[in-house]
Structure 1
């Protein structure tokens, strides 16, 4: 690999002049710049990015620590973060925390040791060690999707109004018995949506029946089991609401395994619209989160935080959209067993 000194000798200039052209730190005459660029192209010279970052105290890179990369919801956010970071001239290093607090701490430590300029983190259910580490190291950070610590910028969806719109829609068909299949335990989004579900039922004059509420479902298999249990009650709900796309899939599987139809035997609605929701029969009524805007604004917030660490942290909640389709109807008097 040719060195900067060898480029300088070939171009007939000093090493410092080559450095100014490579790093764009001082004006160099057009003729000398042409000679240097020709030498770089001919010799295949590549600047030492690590050395440049150490000198500049910046790497123009950020870490994205996010759970369940295979989840379509997070996939859409990742794409938006990467696109906005590319526009801002930032490289993204991606790691899956697997919703594991130990893994989460390991990931943010690795990002810090690799000198990223900042971190975007979707906190796990027990994120305190990772968050405290970031705070202690004074790492610019944006928390995404889950509002876990006001010391950092945070961005996600407005869960209360989104859930209210969802329950209002389901209740408008005349349902009195509405169940809920919540998502991952410990997450702020899970807690906020459970609380919003209960408040929304009360606002519609409906009772929140404890046995209709499954508060902890770590994956689709758990959601399937929970749905089976609720639908096997002597007097089951006539409608189910799900807390995220994974619980939606689990609920649909259980409903079909019991030989029930949607919405003929049971209405279904939930959070997290996804690309193939339109392919279900019937088409599913779901809350669509603004994934692209969440990712874009997360990257913009982090870029601003890297540039100005002294400003007050911001918490940004974006509005979701209810996409009413065909999975809700009037309750029947059929006993679900």
Structure 2
């Protein structure tokens, strides 16, 4: 097994210099750095990560807590996080909560046990007090969700205005009887998208029937089941806004199962613009989020926190966009 002293001898430098090349290359001359790296390559030297951790109190690992890794939106955010993490020498430890609050809280122990240097939360359903207390002790960044009035660095879109765009699009197509399938209302994303829907309907003086607003869980099955409830009404909606794409797919398939078509009989809008939205039949009109870019920004902020660098502002709002495809059509009363 090749040791650091072997590298130092062959490169004719001290072991401290080899260590600095590996951990703080900016403190070593370019010539010496190149010489040491060449020897490391020749000898195939593998630095002892555990020894480095004991010296620096760093794990070079970051924890990412995801509500549902099967949702391709979060997978894309995670890829953004990982792209920045790898370049900066960090590995990503993934905690998939499966939308389980107890599991979400349990993952915090990884930070408490100092098995990670920082954390990116893609969900914030646990008590805000717990997250705030954790952020006082460890580097923490929120992505996708936020905590009202919190100083924790946050990367998200404006979900209220995104929902307003989607609802307004349907209204301008002539739809008045619009159903809404929300996300879980114990989370800020579900609440904000519902709020955007209500605000737009009110702005256009359109009646909202309580039976046409139902709470889903962001899974395909809830979109399918709730859409069936809408279709069983004496007067089904002429359009439906589902608070994420998976529920929109469920709604479209429920409509098809009744022998109706989208968009000829009922228009459907989703939210997130996951990859499958463009190849689903009919291609889904939806609100696009810059998921990958949200991930890269969140990781850059976390690195700044871990390096104790100053952060210019604490809330970063990314731009969302209405993507018009084939799932909506004009409605004539």
TM range (shorter): 0.7 to 0.9
Go from structure 1 to structure 2 and tell me whether the alpha carbon gap of 1:309 and 1:210 turns closer, same or farther (over 3 Å shift).
Answer: farther
Structure 2 unaligned runs (5+)? Answer: none
1:94 is aligned to 94
1:155 is aligned to 155
Go from structure 1 to structure 2 and tell me whether the alpha carbon gap of 1:175 and 1:88 turns closer, same or farther (over 3 Å shift).
Answer: same
Contact 1:64 1:92 in 2 (8 A): yes
2:241 is aligned to 241
Offset at residue 122 of structure 1 (A): 1.4
Structure 1 unaligned runs (5+)? Answer: none
Contact 1:104 1:130 in 2 (8 A): no
2:177 is aligned to 177
Deviations 1:5-51 (A, max 9, x none): 455567776544554555457658968985x6676556543221222
Q: Give 1:170-209 correspondences, 5 Å limit.
A: 170-209=170-209
SS of the equivalent of 1:276 reads: helix
1:219 paired to 2:219: yes
Between 1:12-21 and 1:83-92, the stretch displaced more is: 12-21
SS of the equivalent of 2:275 reads: coil
Q: Distance in 2 between matches of 1:256 and 1:277?
A: 17
Deviations 1:204-227 (A, max 9, x none): 121111100012335221221111
Contact 1:155 1:298 in 2 (8 A): yes
Offset at residue 53 of structure 1 (A): 2.7
Between 1:87-96 and 1:292-301, the stretch displaced more is: 87-96
Contact 2:242 2:271 in 1 (8 A): yes
SS of the equivalent of 1:103 reads: helix
Q: Distance in 2 between matches of 1:297 and 1:38?
A: 33
Offset at residue 288 of structure 1 (A): 0.6
Q: Distance in 1 between matches of 2:30 and 2:244?
A: 59
Go from structure 1 to structure 2 and tell me whether the alpha carbon gap of 1:88 and 1:264 turns closer, same or farther (over 3 Å shift).
Answer: same
Go from structure 1 to structure 2 and tell me whether the alpha carbon gap of 1:128 and 1:278 turns closer, same or farther (over 3 Å shift).
Answer: same
Go from structure 1 to structure 2 and tell me whether the alpha carbon gap of 1:247 and 1:7 turns closer, same or farther (over 3 Å shift).
Answer: same
- Structure 1 vs Structure 2 CA RMSD: 2.8
1:145 is aligned to 144
Deviations 1:54-107 (A, max 9, x none): 322333332111121121111111111111223333322222121112211222
2:117 is aligned to 117
Contact 2:304 2:310 in 1 (8 A): no
Size of the alignment, in residue pairs?
Answer: 331
Offset at residue 156 of structure 1 (A): 0.9
Offset at residue 330 of structure 1 (A): 2.7
Q: Distance in 2 between matches of 1:60 and 1:253?
A: 45
Q: Distance in 1 between matches of 2:37 and 2:319?
A: 50
Q: Distance in 2 between matches of 1:254 and 1:183?
A: 18
Contact 1:181 1:217 in 2 (8 A): no
1:59 paired to 2:59: yes
1:269 is aligned to 269
Q: Distance in 2 between matches of 1:233 and 1:15?
A: 77
Contact 1:144 1:155 in 2 (8 A): yes
Compare CA radii of gyration and give the structure with the larger one: 1
TM-score (norm 2): 0.88
2:107 is aligned to 107
Q: Distance in 2 between matches of 1:19 and 1:311?
A: 29
TM-score (norm 1): 0.87
Between 1:43-52 and 1:177-186, the stretch displaced more is: 43-52
